[in-house]
Each structure stands twice: as structure tokens, then as C-alpha cells.
Structure 1
Amino acid sequence: MTTTDGPFETTLDGSLTPPPGCPAHGLGPDGIRRLYGPEAEADPSGLYEKLRAEHGAVAPVLLPGDLPAWMVLGHSANLTAMRNPSRFSRDSRRWSAFRNNEVAMDSPLMPILAWQPICLFADGAEHRRLRGAVTDGLDRFDRRGIRRHVTRFADQLVDGFTGAGTADLVAQFAEHLPMLVMTQLIGMPEEYGPQLVAAVRDLMKGTETAFASNEYVAQMLRQLVERKKAEPGNDLASWLIQHEAGLTDDELMEHLRLVLLAANETTVNLIADTLRMVLTDGRFRANLSGGHMTLPDALDQVLWDSPPLSLIPGRWAAIDTELGGKQIKAGDMVILGLAAGNVDPEVRPDLGTPLYGNRSHLAFSGGPHECPGQDVGRAIAETGIDVLLTRLPDLRLAGREDELNWSGQFLARHLTELPVRFTPGRPKVPAARVAAEPVPGATRVAEPEVPVQPANLPRQRRSWWCVLTALVRRG
């Protein structure tokens, strides 16, 4: 037996169940719009505005497999969902679709949303225990120390292409810098950086060798945990091991991987989008070079206009409740619309007005699950871009802005390349000598090779963030 609740049929247990679907295009059953497929890929921002015009602050949508959910489009409504875990839980086991076995085992949503014992899927005391260990560790970093790491690696990356006079700032800069810095912050030896960058780029692109690359990253982190138990240092791995939360070895490894990969993906996007804005918006570049705005101001503007993640699927109604004028049933999924909330006319009636220094955007989420590494990410992006623009002051786009391409429109838009030209220069330090110089005090250990083809490893459930980043990268 069902009752009608807006565009959905609502069963007695409160789950949202659409009628049998139709082919995967913009409209699903009963005219409900899909968050995936050609329409979403062609113009995600346009799709969000259609949903806002039709439904207001909260809209019914369909996910892959035509599974129903509610997308939050309003800025205030997003904050309500973020800040009220008693109403909107992070525990995916509450999802009606899971309880009713409506999600196929091979669904692309399974690795993203299937519950795991990490802080992202925890509420209450367990969330405080796990999240507290991560935030306490991240808060111990010396920001000047982070900037020294960023400056050193940014200089090395620029040295690698400065003599050519051309570069792709996505493939040769943005996709390398965050991971090189993060490997140092979590306590990896210096020589692991390039291999880990290659492995993470591979698994995030969802290639045929992504599973083997994921296993490589996991193996490196397991070795790191064992080494830091015997030889602790001033790094995140050691601080997590020593934390009073008493993390298990699996919790240590999984949260280190979470920090490593989540920081990498979001910071890559932040660097790439900020550089794009600098290179394509004349007013932006003029304000920056003329001292009318600072790089932190620039990052704030980009976080409003192009948040690193457009959507966060992952709140579930704990009780029957109301949000944005819609009746949400217990067990319904609620999707945080970060990009849509950032352009809500209630908070931005004039999208052309600069928002320098305004940090009330939704890019880092909010409430108990607000991004704990946002300061680290901002420091990497800000310092790296500053080094790049200082080293290459006449940097300019090679080609037209309308020739730039993006991939992955379900959870985020990822700039695929950013070709530039500049006056060729000379490296600050010979690249060969930089590569040969170890970090003082670094311990050299045996490092396994990244497999060229997937290894014959026992089949394991892929971690949610690995598949999430693969989905993000796929066009």
C-alpha cells in the first residue's frame, strides 16, 4: 500500500519509491529529474536552477538506478541539514533503499554510500571519538611548516617545465602538488612521494589498474603505521597512533587514507579552478596583481563559484521531519547541494558581486562533519599558486576559454587540462640534484612497485572514496 507524497509514491515504511523507470535521460518516472545522465553532464548548474524553479529549496531527484532522494538547493536548508545530526544522520544504514534491498550490489552508489567504520559514517560518541583524533592531529600542524613544504615542492614542479615555455597546469602542477605535500604531513619518507602521486592519480581516474594502485596505497599506509609505532615523529600518523581515542590498526590506516585522498581530490580541484579564474577573468587577474585582493580572497571567490565538490550524498533522515517545505520521511536520503546552495538567490541576489573574504560558502560543508582539513587545503592551494605566479609572472592561457573541458558532473566538475604559455625561464635548482637530495632525517625503506596491470589479489570491497573519485573523474 502506498500514499502519494509529491512526485513520489511513499510506502508505509516511509521510503520513497518511484514507479518503474524509463530510459536514462533528464526526466525519470513522474517527471522527476535525474542527477546523472546527459542533462546533468551537459549543464549541471542549469539542472540545479530548473530544480530550484520547480520545487524551491528542496527537490525530489533520482540517483543512478533511479533511486529517489531529496536534493537540498537552498543555502539555509543546506545548513539545517548539516547542523542537525539528530534529524539528518550520517549513518547510511538508515537508508530505506538499503533496508529494502533496492540497491544492486554492482551499483556505483554502493562503494560511496555503503556504511564503513570511519568518522564519515558515524554519529554521536563514535563520531566524536574518530573525528576527534583526526582533527586533533591536523590542528597540531605548524602552518609555516606546511607552507615550507608547499614552496619546496611547487618550486620543484615549476622547475620541471619552466624551460619549455608551455605547460598543462592540471597534469603538471595541480595534480601533483597536494599529494607531494600530504605525504610529508602524514609521515611518509621523501622518496615515496612520486610513486604515491602516480598511484593516486591512477586510482582516481578509474583505470584498469586502479584496483592495484589502491592496494599499493593501502600497503604503503599499513607499512607507515607499523614504522611509526616503532619510530614516532612529528607527523599525522604518529599523532593518530598516540591519540587517546585508541584507534585500531584498521582505523589508523583507513583514516590516513581518507585524509590523504580526500585532501588530494578537493585541493587539486581548488588549485585548478583558481588558476583558471586567474587566467580567464581579466578583472580577477587585475585585482590580484594590483593588490586590490589577496590570494585568500581569490580562494574564497572560487569556493563560492566552483566548490571542489558540487554534491555530497550522505545524509539520511533519522525521523519524519520537514526541510525546505518538503515532508521528509525517516530513511530518505538527503543530498547536500553545495554548488546550488552557493548561488541561492536568497544569499546571492547578484551573482556578479564579488565575495572576497566572505567565508559563509558551503564548500567545506558545515556542522559536526565540516571538513577538518580545510585550513591545510587552503594553505597548499594559496602557497602553491603564489609560487607559480611569482615564478611565471606572464603566465597566460594557451588557447580560448571555451576550449577548456571538464569531466565528471555527478559529484564534481574536474578541469581536465589547463594549457598555458609563458616566457621560458631557468630552474631555481637543477632538477637532478633536487631529486637526489633526501629530506634530513628521512628513513629510506624498501618500496613496492606500482603494478603495471592489476595484481591477482583477493577480491575486496573497494573503499568508498576510491570509487567516489573514480566517479568524479569519469565524464
Structure 2
Amino acid sequence: MNQQPDTSGRPAGCPAHGNVPLYGPEFGSDPERVYEHLRSMGPSAPVDVAPDVQVELVTSYDASLYILQNPASFVRDSRRWNALNEGRVPADSPALPMMGYRPNALFSDGAAHARLRQAVTDSLATVDQARLVRLTQNSADYLISLFSTEPRGEAELMGAYAQPLPLLVFSELFGCPPEIGDRVITGISGIFEGTAGADQILGGALAELIALKRHQPGQDLTTRLMVHSARLTDEEVLHQLVTLLSGGTAPLAAAIGTSSALYLSDDWPTGLPIEEAVVKTLWKYAPIANYAGHYPTQDVELGGRTLKANDPVLISFAAANNDPKLTEHREQLSAKAHLAFGAGPHACPAKDPAFMIAVTAVESLLNRLPDVEMRVAFKELDWAPTPWSRSLLDVPLRFTPRAVPPATPARPAAPRSDQAALPPSAVPQAPPAPVPAQSAGQPKGGMFSRFVSWMRGE
């Protein structure tokens, strides 16, 4: 839906009903201006997250925290969604993969949520931190080896490093054999790129992985979920894996990219640790910008507005974290008081491992390419024009090319563990993804197969 510029300085509204659109280049270029306008309407305001898809967006930190911590009045089951049930949401709406119901912990409430959540948190608790750091470093070394010898000494950080790194880490932590890992990466990448059939590829790969683990269990996240005392069915395991993959790849890639760009920017104070860049990213550029659909169980008054029962209420983590009312006592808040990982019973169960991966990824980039710098200023970088995430599109880098390939990495120590993630659907029955043709001398298989071969020194 094309928007005409508003010379008054306010974000343009959707012609259908005057709502501010949370998508498109105008929103993507300056979301803070949009959030500022929405705050003038109160703690929440109606917006469109896609054409003909209206939600109530909460921009207040205090109001967001109240909703996130009040599961009795605000539930997550999107099968309550009035407009969807009444046929007022387009069947091909891009909002449906993000907001539509899935049988996982994210969209469950009460006892059902507690059961699924416990299986996930207990499985994630088996993550060995030292092994996770080594695996992240090895993944970083592999990806850097692919672009660091480029004669011009130039690369694009998001596509070459930030986006594939979490996929390599998670494929290993889930215990994927190389061929299945290739299809998992193809499927999850395709979902976020909008590739037709990507959800079927991912679902088919995960269904095959689950069947494999029934016969060959291991010390990995998939097996941990399957043997948990909650006794998840194979379908439930599959949907928890989809959730973990979705929420642990794109948001983590955004965090790695933004934190790296912040640290490399001219404005970054010399001597501040990498952890500070990641913390600032989580506060100011929340990777999951607007999400966490809630449905009031009855009409609720919030700041002079009535939130109708079973109409979707989304939390703007990005706006809430930068709520001007926080500035008065920001110094008294913990560095972890941001809402980038959510809050309440549905808070991200893997926030600590996610933070560790992001810090290690940025640190590895700086250690392997000590003179790396950005080719454009941070303020000139472009952001994805989507309501769901705050992610840089491109981060152009320059560096001195490496003449000598990196040493063969140390192989990760035995037990595996696992990590976190978010939505779309997966269909268990799906044909394997076609194996791409390989040039002469190139290892067979996709990205994960080549990574595994590299790890083995092949």
C-alpha cells in the first residue's frame, strides 16, 4: 500500500481507516518518528502491521510490562482473534505466518503452556557454555575464512556472517546430520526470505531428524525434548523446534549485525567492551521490534483507550525500551531491564545463551580481522522495512585480506546442548530439498555439510 508523504511531520496513515502503517520504506527509514507519534496518542494506539490487518500497539514501557506479566487477563492463543475468525484478514496476509496459531509454547496458555515451556527450559539448561562458545567461535572462523581472503578486502556483514552464523550453531546443537542440517538451513532461511515451500522443507527436515533420533538418540536439543518427562509427541517436538529455530536465528542475526556495526561506528567510545554494544543493541534496537500478540479476555481500559476482548494487542519492544518516561530513572535500572527478551511467563527461555553467542560472534570478527571497519557511517545504514524486526539490511565492511587460511579448528567437545527461537508453520511430510550442484573440488552438500567437512579438516 503506497503512502504519500505527510508534510505535517506525522507518519502517513493507512487509507483504509487512518491507522499508521508499521511496514514499508517510510516506517523502515525512521521507526522512532513513528513511535513518537504513536506515544502522543497514549500508552497504546491502533496500527496496521500489514494491509487490512489492524492491531493495538503498546508503546509504553510500564503498560507493556503490565500486559506481559498479566497472563490471566491477556492470553496468547490467537485462535481468539476476532478479525481472523470473521474473515476480515486476507488469507495471503504476511501477518498470518507471524500471528497465526501454532501448537507451541509461544501460543499456549495455562497448563498447556507450562508443560511445553518446562520441556524447552529444561532442555536448554543442558547447554554447556564452554562448548557453546567454542562452537560459535568455530562457526565464526569458518564464515570468516570464506570472505577474508577476498582480494579487495571487502564484504557484506549480514549476508556473509551475521545471518548464517546462528544457523550453523543451531544445526549442530540440534544434532543434525549434515544433509538434514542443509535442509534445515534452506528451510528456515527461505521462511524469512518468503520463499515458496520453505516451511514444508523445514518441516520435512525436522520430521526426519525426529525419526532419526527415535532410533539414534544423542546429547542434543532434539533428543532432550523427546525424552523429557513432559512426554511430548513427535508433532509437539517438531513445533517446539520450529519455534526455537525461528526465534533464535533472525533475531540473533540482527543482534550480531547491529552490535558489530555499533562497535565499529565512529561514535563508539574507545575502550568500552563488546558486551556494552550488545546491551545497547538490546535496549535501543530491539531485534524483535513488535510482536508478542496478546488477546484480552474481556474489554480492558488502558490509558483512556478500550482494548476490546479478543482483538490483538502487540507489544512494541522497540518503543517500550526507548520510552522517554524511562530516562528519568534509567540509571537506576539494571542493564537487563530492557524488554528485548520479553518478560513474564513467555519471556525468552534462552536469553543468556543468546547474549553469549552475540558477544562471541562480535568478538571473533574483531579478533580475526583486527583492522575491520565499516565503509559507511552507522547512521547511513538501511533497516529492514518490517514491523517485526529491527535488522540492518547491509553492513559493508573493509579489511586487510588474509593471505593464509585459518588453522583447522578444535572439534567441539562431546555433549551437545541447544538454543532459542519463534513462529511459522511446518508441515511434517515434505520431500528433501534438492542438493545444489557443486563445482569441481568443492565439498559436497550445502552450507552445513561444508561446515562439518571444514571442521573435520576435509
> Secondary structure at 2:160's aligned position in 1?
helix
Q: Which amino acid aligns with 1:287?
A: G
Q: Which amino acid aligns with 1:324?
A: G
- Residue 140 of structure 1 is matched in structure 2 by 126
1:320 maps onto 2:299 in alignment: yes
* Residues 175-230 of structure 1 deviation map (CA, whole Å, 9 limit, x = unaligned): 111110111111112565455434432332113xx41x332222221111111112
Paired with 2:415 and 2:118, the residues of 1 have a C-alpha distance of: 29
Gaps of 5+ in 2: 5-11, 417-430, 437-458
1:130 maps onto 2:116 in alignment: yes
Q: What is the 5 A alignment of 1:205-354?
A: 205-207=193-195, 210-211=196-197, 213-284=198-269, 286-288=270-272, 294-349=273-328
Paired with 2:370 and 2:215, the residues of 1 have a C-alpha distance of: 46
* Residues 110-143 of structure 1 deviation map (CA, whole Å, 9 limit, x = unaligned): 3322222111111000000111111111111111
Q: Which amino acid aligns with 1:417?
A: D
Identical amino acids, percent of aligned pairs: 35
Paired with 1:449 and 1:439, the residues of 2 have a C-alpha distance of: 30
Q: What is the 5 A alignment of 1:135-214?
A: 135-164=121-150, 165-190=153-178, 192-193=180-181, 196-207=184-195, 210-211=196-197, 213-214=198-199
> Secondary structure at 1:283's aligned position in 2?
coil
Q: Which one of the candidate residues 74, 77, 80 is aligned to 1:94?
A: 80
Q: Against the structure 1 CA distance between its residues 366 and 159, is the aligned structure 2 distance closer, same or farther, given a 3 Å change threshold?
A: same
- Residue 469 of structure 1 is matched in structure 2 by none
> Secondary structure at 2:47's aligned position in 1?
strand
State the Cα distance separating 1:348 from its structure 2 match.
2.2
Q: Which one of the candidate residues 396, 410, 421 is aligned to 2:387?
A: 410
State the Cα distance separating 1:149 from its structure 2 match.
0.7
Contact 1:167 1:421 in 2 (8 A): yes
Q: Which amino acid aligns with 1:110?
A: L
RMSD: 2.9
Contact 1:162 1:427 in 2 (8 A): no
State the Cα distance separating 1:399 from its structure 2 match.
3.5
Q: Against the structure 1 CA distance between its residues 92 and 203, is the aligned structure 2 distance closer, same or farther, given a 3 Å change threshold?
A: closer
Q: Which amino acid aligns with 1:51?
A: L
Paired with 1:23 and 1:392, the residues of 2 have a C-alpha distance of: 42
Number of aligned positions between the proteins = 413
Contact 1:296 1:357 in 2 (8 A): no
> Secondary structure at 2:23's aligned position in 1?
coil
Gaps of 5+ in 1: 1-21, 289-293, 453-475
TM-score (norm 2): 0.82
Q: Which amino acid aligns with 2:94?
A: P
Q: Which amino acid aligns with 1:206?
A: G
State the Cα distance separating 1:427 from its structure 2 match.
4.6
Contact 2:120 2:240 in 1 (8 A): yes
> Secondary structure at 1:336's aligned position in 2?
strand
Q: Which one of the candidate residues 331, 338, 352 is aligned to 1:375?
A: 352
Contact 1:300 1:355 in 2 (8 A): no
Q: Against the structure 1 CA distance between its residues 74 and 173, is the aligned structure 2 distance closer, same or farther, given a 3 Å change threshold?
A: same
Q: Which amino acid aligns with 1:107?
A: S
Contact 1:300 1:357 in 2 (8 A): no
TM-score (norm 1): 0.80
